[in-house]
Amino acid sequence: MDDFSIYGFEKNHLINVLVRGIDKYINVPKLRLLGIKEISFHYDTKKESFFYFKNGVVKVTADGINLMDYKELDGFIWMKQVKPYDINLLGVGVSLGDFKEFCFRVCNKDEKRFEALQTIIGYILHRYWSPSLTVVPCFLDETINGTEEAQGGTGKTTICLALGLIRNMIDIDGKDFKPGGDFRFQRLDLDTEIMFIDDLDRHTSFEFCFSIVSAGLEVNQKNKAAFKIPKERTPKIIISSNFPVKCIAGNSSERRKVEFEVSSYYGSALKPMQEFGREFFQEWNNEDFNHMFNFFINCTQLYLKKGIIQPPQINAALRKLIGELGGSDLKDFLDEKVLSGAEKWNKKDLYDDFVKSHYGLQKYYPSQNKFMMKVHKYLKYRGIAYEEKPANTKRVIHVDLSSVQEEDNAIDP
């Protein structure tokens, strides 16, 4: 009704009255008088995954992929979950475009690594929670040039950001991320499906993920009421880092994460732009996006068929060692010691030599005892047998270098 003149006032008068007194007419106490209607949302199941597009819903199972009408859904979805594209499902054997080829190349064109990457992508995109199937994918650089040197441009961030084009994702700057901060997850919402922590600081422990994947999380937003996201609706967490993801030794951390090492195929010498001739995403047309979406859908189906395939380990053990040693400096120092052929190492002399030759690092090795604990880890990694003598003081380490291969003595670049 637009004509209110029969009541002696105009429509704009009514609007002005409503605006002036809106705090009285509409407020939390009055809203509480309204009835509560439970809404059932549509989610993935253990054996099914769904993707929402303008022209329909793609249902993915281990046995098939088909396009459904929204009327067939047995629940509601958020508007932001509907991607602004029409999906065209491609047949088996059809080329799936530049992004699939890009992913193959960041696997150094290794079929086993590529298959593992596809199942990891499928796991991230599958919106289903299970206490026995919950892991956190961590994307790392294959190449190790020292713990302070970021490789950059290898493709790990590109892969992660691309997932946000088919699922609702927030990306968090890992360098500024504070696991104990009150507002660390303030950008999360009930429709968030993936939380991407980019470039996680090497001193941040992986343990912060445990409570999230096992108990859900509480979201505190500034000037808003906090709300709880239950564990079965928590977004998948993915991490990228230039360093080993810090874990408590002997904890269940290892089974809670899966590390994928991105090859050095791309880097400062070669950019995707040079091979594909255009910027990813910004210079794409609808066909390019359609190819990528089909690739993601196929990855999800592969995951539903095979689960997560553990990727081949390239430098994971070495990266973990460097992290435990506190940096590559100590490894390089001990490599030189082994290369010299000396089989008797006086603990005090060894410690003094290191801190004198690496000025400024003593704060990371505050005592000889802590220093020697790291030396023991190095010897264990290299498979070098050792014995501490004499029995009463254990001042000297006798190392057996007979098991060290000649080529193993080479110092990593």
Same domain, 143 and 117: yes
User: How does DSSP classify residue 83?
Assistant: B
Same domain, 310 and 338: no
Range of the domain at 402: 326-409
CA-CA distance, 302 to 298, in Å (whole number)? Answer: 6
CA-CA distance, 174 to 158, in Å (whole number)? Answer: 15
Q: What is the pLDDT of residue 251?
A: 54
φ and ψ of 386, to 5 deg: -150, 160
Half-sphere exposure of 171 (CA within 13 A, CB side): 14
We report the CATH number of the domain holding residue 405 as 1.10.10
| Band (187; pLDDT cuts 50, 70, 90) | confident
Same domain, 309 and 340: no
Dihedral of alpha carbons 103, 108, 114, 117, sign: negative
Residue 260 β-bridge partners: 139
Q: What is the pLDDT of residue 151?
A: 56
CA-CA distance, 8 to 58, in Å (whole number)? Answer: 55
Length of the chain: 413
CA-CA distance, 354 to 334, in Å (whole number)? Answer: 9
pTM score, two decimals? 0.80
Cα separation of the two ends of the chain: 79
Question: Does the pLDDT at position 159 exceed 80?
Answer: yes
Residue 137 β-bridge partners: 258
- Domain membership of residue 321 (yes or no) is no
Q: CA-based Rg of the chain, rounded to a whole angstrom? A: 28
Highest mean pLDDT among 4-8, 75-79, 211-215, 267-271: 75-79
CA-CA distance, 371 to 354, in Å (whole number)? Answer: 10
Q: What is the pLDDT of residue 248?
A: 57
Label residues 358-373 b or e (16+ Cβ within 10 Å = b).
beeeeebbeeeeebbe
Question: Does the pLDDT at position 173 exceed 90?
Answer: no
Same domain, 18 and 151: no
Same domain, 332 and 310: no
